[in-house]
Chain A
Amino acid sequence: MNARRILAISRRIASQFRRDHRTVALLFVVPLVVTALLGWVIRDQERDDVRLGIVASQLVAERVGGALDAAPGIDYLFQADSAEAARSLIRDGQVDIVLVFPADFLPGAGGTLPATLTVITPGVDPASEGTNLATLQRAVISVLDPNLPTLNRETVWGSPASDALDAFAPALIGFFGFFFVFLLTGISFLRERVGGTLERLLATPVTRSEIVAGYSLGFGIFAALQVAVITTFALMNVGVPAFGPLPAFSIGLGIANAGSPLLAFLVVLLLAVGMVNLGIFVSTFARTELQVIQFVPVVIVPQGLLGGVLWPVDSLPSLLQPIARLLPLTYAVDGLREVMIKGADLGSAALRLDLSVLVGLAIAFAALAALTIRREVA
């Protein structure tokens, strides 16, 4: 391999980027906007108190409802005489949840608590109705039996205050490090193939491993810059005070990072190099840019679903787990979580496994890519 030729190829890729402002924006601005938007949506959700209706006698509803109303997150609004009347309250959007007591229930020392209580919810949005149910359950327990201990949560990694974004951010960083690089390499290499420049490249003394190395370096540098920008944004938290009509806000997600940012960076870089070469490989099977885009649902979406971004690999159906363990994103997401949440360093066997698999896959994809660059020169 000739370093000068490899550098010439990667420098050429950099020059092409320099003139293509839209692609640069796609690489650097789009992930920031998406990450910021996601952070905003997850962190600043408007959560109103659960609006409660109770089906019971006037007396019971007043006593129980008053007590529940005092519990956090509950807003007792209506009493109804029958479950049917309560359902129409939900239908009209006046309450979120209805607690149904048996007709013969007596509160206080005289009455025994029934073994089950019925709860009615709209049945439209399982996630938020589940949250409402949990809030009600907590309130019911605290009101009916104030002597039960409250649970005080501690964690091994992270902190009890961690939210969904803290767990999601590492996966998101991995996903961006993977998606755009794959798409851009696939399309640029397709253009080499159909535009006649590959033919011309191959008529020079360059070897195919030099082409693959030049591409890996050229796109790898941009992927690295991109990951550096997203990681910085995810980790930083700069408060901007209120100014004039603008409310105070903060720049960055302020994600807690327990480990070394450099290690996190290394994980994504290895993933990106693998994806550069997968992009080159895939470009063999496309004749147009549109056909490269058609590989997104084939290559990207399954990894997004199975790679541990949304659900842990261990909780996948047993048939899908072995497939998930073949995907590069699985190891990158796991590695990133090991580093960022658990603070793993190179002493961690789990992280070492993730890194070795990513290196192995990058080499395998590079070999595949080199095989698809045909020249019949020894």
Chain B
Amino acid sequence: MDPRTDQQLVAAINAGEGRAFDVLYYRYRDWVVRLARRFTGNAEDALDVLQETWTYVYRKFPGFRLTANMTTFLYPVVRNLSLAAVRKRRGNAGDEALLAVSSPNPPGTNLDDLAAVLRSLPAGQREVVLMRFVDDMSLEEIARALAIPVGTVKSRLHNALATLRQDPRTRAYFD
């Protein structure tokens, strides 16, 4: 496993090292695919978004400067490409439809209630909940990725968690 940091890999790619791009790709490939799958709802579109994302990335070189975490940089790219893929497939789907809970419940689990409550949340709240608790991004990273103030991120999370806590279907998580 390559021990270099993302910044070091970016510097190496800028300097002409092709192998460093491979390392960066494999380091974030699964994260991109999972995020794209979550947005698009299907594997085929997710793989298309994966390809388009890394085409976007390599075209940033040489001269690319990574000024944030790689996930902060990639999130809006994957999001926007996924939106485009969904619109192409569904024809003008809005962000609400895009951010709807599209993953089927894994077999053997009873997550319908959680899925239902999440669907009832405003899209902005649902998105930050997933970024924070599924993608494990910090508040700062979420704020930068969505280009909104940290205070807004906190507020949306607070409101979303309050809804989950008050709803009888998901109250048990907070006991």
- Does B associate with A? no
Interface residues of A, Cβ cutoff 8 Å to B: none
